[in-house]
Amino acid sequence: MGHKSTKSSSGTCCKTPYLNYLVAATYLTRTAAPNNVETTPASDQLTIVEQPRQTTNDEGEYEVKQDRNLENLLIVWLDANIDKTEDNLLLKTKLRSVINYLKMFDNTAECVSFITTIREEKVFLIVSGSLSEETIPRIHLMPQLESIYIFCHDKWKHETWSEEYEKVRAVFVNIDDIFDQLKRDVQLCSNNLVSMDVISTSTTVPTDESTTTRNKLEALFLWSKVLVDILMQMDDEEQAKSEFIKECYLQYAGNLTELKIIEEFQQNYLPDKTHNRSRVCFQSSQAITWYTRDCFLYRMLNKALRAQDVDVLYKLRFFISDLHRQVEHFRSESLRNKTMKSRLVYRGNRMPSEEFEKLKQNIGGLLSFNHFLSTSTDRKVALAFASKSLNRPGIETVLFEIEVDIEINKSPFVNIEKLSYFKTEKEILFSIGTVFRIKAVKRLSNDMWNVRLRLTDEEDEHLKILMENIKEEIGGEVDCLLRLGNLMTIMGAFKKALKFYEILLLKNDASSKNNSVLYNQIGNAFLHEADSKHALEYFSKATEIELNSSVAPNWLALATIYANIATLYSNHGNYNYSEALRFYRGALEIRLSFLPLNHPDNATIYNNIGFVHIKQKEHSEALENLQNALKIQLHILPENHPSLAITYNNIGSVYTDLGQYSEAEQNYMKALNIYADVLEPNHPSLALTYNNIASVYINRGQYSEALQYFQKTLVTQLNTFSPGHPELATTYHNISIAHSRLENHLDALENTQKALEIQLKLLGSDCDDHPSLIPMYIILLFNMLS
């Protein structure tokens, strides 16, 4: 794993856009393509949140400091007299038996501010009549707000004005009515919180600049399936159960209903591996029974899977493994006894319109559910669930119709009608990460869609390729903790990755040669967290182990470490280009000794060396190395591979620096043709290439052509970036330059003002004399005088 190089599109470590700069007196900003930089799997970032802390109140009872919510739902209660009435105190206890996480406010501004910060969960708001009329208009359109309950003494008054707000479920004058309505709404909402990912039919689409981006998309699609594979191989069930129970007592402190159930689980639940495998192991349906019970376990597991909360999932590793094994076991038993038949199963859901559009646009593609999926053999039951959904803008109601052929499908699923906590449901449970083929999407009625799916098999060629790619990237034969860390690294969750790497480090012998790979991975995670000091420390430890080992070094592993050190020196604020070149050349020398000349890793190193020479304005050396990279890529890659576009863009940047604009234009156009062929129309790499072509035309005095390509840049960026993104300021500035040269002074002024507005917001209103604003002020003044 640590020996394998990948290319990345990340703007942090793996590919950093070529230095933006101002061209002569025009102050034109131009960008070159990102380079390919060696690293181990990489991308986005998750944040580690502190565990809840337990304290005691004045009466000596335990209460929880809920720093984070481990369920999908929460209640927010706004009432100026929140702690002053006996009714309110009674309702608090009842409410936490339905939704554990409860936040109370007596101030509207603080309440609104809190709701605004919610991202993952759905909010159920109880608001007093006296504060409702000023609060509800301010928050009603927030997507995280699920339902509103007005609690008051004058029902008619508040029903009159609140009719126009569809999220107001009703106006209530007594506690029990709120509680009963909340229970019904929570059940419906919980059913609709489905986590899914879609990937298109081709293994190379969506295409991106690098292998790492493709790997990240595949990892995000299959992460729950890969996670189960890893967790199934861990052997510390009792320790995991103990860690999980401790977390539960902290999260549910003060919630007497759930604490009683947690205690029951602690005393009665035995992880499967603690049984005698030969006799008892999978005869028990404990995990299935517990999962289908509406309590802390079901809620915490589903939230952790939906939010990809690996901290909680790691603590739940014993239960996830048990549940998956039991689904597999009872499916096999049903096949042997011939009690299972091929059939259609159904699920009714509502989902955001943008998620539904992904389904519509990927007919023939794959759909993965990132949790254990409950379905019904009764179409009417599923339709009833779907029909109960509230009709709201931006939400689609969907009936999933799933075709299951037991003769060919090996994916684990089971009829749990007799195993469920609720014995009357006609329920089929699919295990976590089950993948389906999207067969068709059609309308059933004006307010409901039908999505036809077919259960895929492990032998599905597309799925096989995806799984093999991910397993290769995370390492098939290495320690489970290392694979978990590698999976997090591919997904960009570097802090999570560090957690697993550091747990493994504590288990390993400090002098073990295996630590070389681990130290390199830790260094790589720190590098992506912009912690160059610790990154270099761990890269150095990895190097020391390889060079001082009693056995011969793993030279290719050493080449990877050298390349990562070079990346650190060239991209992360250190800018020691001579050291970067020294380590890149060391990595190249090793690779040329052990790999074929046309190996893709050699192309990566040549590209990176060329990139460093670009930064040093050493144009002939840059061209030489970029041409070496291009030669290898043309030999081994398809003619429309995105890596070729990256190299063409970098070569174009060198020619632009040299003033050889015809050669620059030729290379930029080659890059553009590839990107236009394989990327989505609004991909950032297209914007970058449009911008580079425009810079050539500006320098050749072809201002109309330059304006055309700057405007293409802008259209692409407006469909990709937020309105205040700094690259938009750059593009507005460049457009104003083109308009100035064409003497379109009003248009130039308009675009310069837009650029200034963005820059001033980024810098702060008191930074209007910042040096970076000078070029814009010059253009502004020139056009005002003209």
The string of DSSP codes covering 60-120 is S-EEEE-SS--SSEEEEEE-TTTTT-HHHHHHHHHHHTT-S-EEEES-HHHHHHHHHH--S
Q: How many Å separate Cα 490 from the centre of its chain?
A: 11
- Highest-confidence segment of 179-193, 349-363, 430-444, 650-664: 650-664
pLDDT at 460: 64
Percent of the chain with pLDDT over 90: 43
Please name the amino acid found at residue 270. Answer: L
- Measure the CA–CA gap between 549 and 562, rounded to whole angstroms: 17
In terms of pLDDT, which residue wins out, 59 or 212? 212
pLDDT at 52: 29
Report CA torsion sign: 627, 633, 639, 641.
Answer: negative
- Measure the CA–CA gap between 29 and 31, rounded to whole angstroms: 7
Place 36 in a pLDDT band, splitting at 50, 70 and 90: very low
Beta strands in 384-540 (DSSP E): 395-404, 413-415, 427-430, 435-445, 448-455
Q: Are strands 366-369 and 435-445 parallel, antiparallel or unpaired?
A: antiparallel
Q: Taking the CB of residue 625, how many other CB atoms lie within 10 A of it?
A: 24
CA distances to 217, 333, 335, 424, 437 from 456, rounded to whole Å, are 19, 20, 18, 28, 6
Place 188 in a pLDDT band, splitting at 50, 70 and 90: confident
Whether the predicted pLDDT of 709 surpasses 60: yes
Whether the predicted pLDDT of 118 surpasses 80: yes
- Measure the CA–CA gap between 609 and 577, rounded to whole angstroms: 10
Place 715 in a pLDDT band, splitting at 50, 70 and 90: very high
Q: What residues contact residue 253 under an 8 Å CB cut-off, 6+ apart?
A: 54, 62, 63, 64, 259
Least confident interval from 57-66, 241-250, 447-456: 57-66
Place 635 in a pLDDT band, splitting at 50, 70 and 90: very high
Q: What is the pTM of this model?
A: 0.71
The string of DSSP codes covering 145-180 is EEEEEEE-S-HHHHHHHHTT-TTEEEEESSHHHHHH
Euclidean distance between the first and final Cα of the chain, in Å? 62
Helix (H, G, I), strand (E, B) or coil at 638: coil
Place 759 in a pLDDT band, splitting at 50, 70 and 90: confident
Whether the predicted pLDDT of 451 surpasses 50: yes
Place 22 in a pLDDT band, splitting at 50, 70 and 90: very low
Whether the predicted pLDDT of 50 surpasses 90: no
- What average pLDDT does this structure show over 263-284? 65
The fold adopted by the segment(s) 73-192 is Rossmann fold (3.40.50)
CA distances to 48, 252, 393, 662 from 665, rounded to whole Å, are 46, 64, 47, 5
In terms of pLDDT, which residue wins out, 642 or 292? 292
Whether the predicted pLDDT of 620 surpasses 50: yes
In terms of pLDDT, which residue wins out, 11 or 176? 176
Mention the CATH class of domain 232-255+265-458: alpha beta
Among candidates 661, 663, 569, 649, which has minimal Cα distance to 616? 569
Least confident interval from 122-136, 385-399, 602-616, 622-636: 385-399
In terms of pLDDT, which residue wins out, 464 or 293? 293
Helix (H) or strand (E) holding 601: helix 600-615
Helix (H) or strand (E) holding 334: helix 317-337
Phi, psi angle pair for 347, to nearest 5°: -150, 130
Among candidates 87, 151, 159, which has minimal Cα distance to 124? 151
Instruction: DSSP letter for 343, please.
Output: E
Tokens of 294: 């509406």
Per domain, the residue ranges of the chain are 73-192, 232-255+265-458
Report CA torsion sign: 466, 469, 471, 473.
Answer: negative
Residue that is written with structure tokens 């181990």 in the block: 40
pLDDT at 644: 92
Least confident interval from 200-214, 281-295, 346-360, 521-535: 200-214
Place 626 in a pLDDT band, splitting at 50, 70 and 90: very high
Among candidates 104, 176, 172, 168, which has minimal Cα distance to 139? 168
Contact 713, 681 (CB under 8 A): no
pLDDT at 45: 27
- What average pLDDT does this structure show over 496-507? 88
- Mean of the per-residue pLDDT values for the chain? 81
Among candidates 23, 27, 35, which has minimal Cα distance to 659? 23
Beta strands in 372-485 (DSSP E): 373-376, 395-404, 413-415, 427-430, 435-445, 448-455
Whether the predicted pLDDT of 717 surpasses 60: yes
Least confident interval from 537-541, 557-561, 721-725: 721-725
Instruction: DSSP letter for 295, please.
Output: S
Whether the predicted pLDDT of 119 surpasses 70: yes
Please name the amino acid found at residue 80. Answer: A
Alpha helices in 338-404 (DSSP H): 353-361, 379-388
